[in-house]
A and B are shown apart, each in its own frame.
Chain A
């Protein structure tokens, strides 16, 4: 008995059909492949297989589910270099960013505030220079958009607040997302301010927080100074 287990045929290649449909072929190669596929039963069968693949994808893994799962996996990847870690996440999350310096401020340990694990935050800025991470001590320009990214290190709840002299504004309150917050913001004030991030195992009432000392017992509190 002699079994044929396939392989490329004269002019036939499933990869070439894929590449044709993906728009990767040009010039003579494209024309030749189109002409071949139009009259080849084997390649017609490949086209049917590819159509079935597309149908299976739409049925089993619709785009929103796919995008969410990819973003989730990116967020939980082992931390490597900043650029390697964030560039792909940015792509998946709808961001593209330029590597910068990690900017994390931890308050001194007090009776009500403790540090745990590797909880950290990063603040990305979009201004006239493009997108970059806010450098330590860097100024925030007028009209700059700011986006906060959390690495909660297992904490369940988070709150982010903009603390200015005499005024505290809630930026975010909710689950401790691993990655960027859903909303960007602008700091429209002047002088100095502090971005205060509270990461806690218990629910955080953001409105009750005016400073790090108001954070729930055992919470991580991270502070990013802003100046203009």
Chain B
């Protein structure tokens, strides 16, 4: 459209991009392609609710876009973004910890009648309800993401003994709750 004094640039909004920046329209698409499936998977796993998981997925990417320098500086962007997702979902779960513990109690009651092994990931999710905030994050990194203790220490900035201690606390709480011996990884 060309009116005197004015030229509308159809679709020109996308052309306003800072020099040196990656093609911005492609940035979100790239983040989606590389990381959204993992984040959505993590949100579905922890929240067990599709609508909540979709909402959390969007919230996580809002956080990522607000922290792009940290994201880009991360040694492993995949690990970094999944930690953000885990942290976000654990916060949501903590806000309704009573319900979370009810689910664990139901699983405990169900387990007494089961002969087959339970889904270990689901068991971990429920047992997280008993753990401290720090132990929750470390337990997810260990039992779900399967990072070694040394990798967790490096990733979280905690000492190796602290990581080991939190994992043992998690297992102790889990043993007490389930009344069975538990093992995991090299613990």
Contacts and interface: CB of A to CB of B under 8 A. Distances in A.
B173 interface: no
Interface centre among A5, A13, A54 (most CB of B within 10 A): A5
Interface in B148-187: 148, 174, 178, 180-187
B183 A24 contact: no
Nearest 10 A-B pairs (CB), nearest first?
A7-B185, A184-B12, A189-B5, A88-B65, A53-B41, A94-B25, A7-B184, A96-B18, A96-B21, A169-B6
B9 A183 contact: yes
B11 A57 contact: no
Interface stretch (A70-78, A102-110, A197-205): A70-78
Contact of A184 (B9, B143, B180, B181): B9
Size band of the B side of the interface?
35 or more
Given A50-B37, A91-B28, A187-B5, A3 B15 contact: no
Given A6-B143, A67-B32, A181-B13, A1 B61 contact: no
B124 to A, nearest CB: 6
Given A57-B37, A95-B13, A183-B12, A63 B29 contact: yes
A214 interface: no
Nearest to A46: B146
Secondary structure at the A interface, as helix, strand, loop or mixed, is mixed
A22 B78 CA distance: 7
Contacts, number: 226
B14 interface: yes
A186 interface: yes
Given A88-B62, A92-B65, A162-B5, A60 B185 contact: no
Interface of B: 2-19, 21, 24-25, 27-29, 32, 34-38, 40-41, 44, 50, 54, 57-59, 61-62, 65-66, 68, 76-79, 82, 117-118, 120-121, 123-124, 127, 142-148, 174, 178, 180-187
A82 to B, nearest CB: 13
B99 to A, nearest CB: 22
B4 A57 contact: no
Contacts of A186: 6-7, 9
A8 B147 contact: yes
B181 A3 contact: yes
Given A6-B143, A7-B143, A56 B17 contact: no
Contacts of A118: none
A164 B65 contact: no
Nearest to A2: B181
Interface stretch (A31-39, A124-132, A151-159, A217-225): A124-132
